[in-house]
Amino acid sequence: MKKKLLFVMSALDSGGGQRSLLTLLTLLDYDRYDVDLFLFNRSGLFLDKLPEQVNLLPHSRDYTDFTLPFAASVKALAKRGKFALLLNRIRYANTLRRFADRSLQADAKSWRFLKSALKNDWPVYDAAQRHIWQPNV
């Protein structure tokens, strides 16, 4: 039975962590592993270099609306009647504004609001790894 792996990263820009992940993904034995990748931002220099066996997880509508620029996000969430998510979007923006240096403390405190926009119907994984990411306001 194949092991299920999940990797979570901000984007596939040209950083060292991204390059290391890409190298790992090209070396994995896909007869032994099913690999999912979640990118907070579907962008970056290495995006088109992903092995075809890697399943790039889609963004939910909630996540897409949540991560729009603040005013557009508020409008989209209100229009869809997603008031709990809208409240979390406001809290998310306020938390990030308090930590102008984008410290790990800001990531930790803002994560509780951002995670409300993520789907929670992902499968159970045998292993998961995330890379530190810098959220956008």
CB contact set of 7 (below 8 Å; sequence gap of 6+): 21, 25, 35, 36, 37, 38, 128, 129, 130, 131
CATH for 40: 3.40.50
Shared-domain flag, residues 9 and 49 = yes
pLDDT at 101: 65
Tell me the per-residue pLDDT of 17-75, one tens digit each, with 9 for 90 and over: 889 999 999 999 999 999 999 998 888 888 999 999 999 999 999 999 999 999 999 99
Shared-domain flag, residues 85 and 100 = yes
- Domain, as residue range, for 114: 59-120
Shared-domain flag, residues 12 and 36 = yes
pLDDT at 82: 96
Q: What average pLDDT does the chain have?
A: 87
How crowded is residue 64: how many other Cβ atoms within 10 Å of its Cβ?
A: 13
Shared-domain flag, residues 85 and 95 = yes
pLDDT at 137: 42
For residue 56, give the 3-state DSSP assignment.
Answer: strand
Number of domains composing the chain: 2
Tell me the per-residue pLDDT of 20-33, one tens digit each, with 9 for 90 and over: 999 999 999 999 99
pLDDT at 22: 93
Shared-domain flag, residues 65 and 111 = yes
User: Would the pLDDT of 132 be above 60?
Assistant: no
pLDDT at 11: 86
- Segments of 28-126 assigned E as strands: 33-39, 55-56
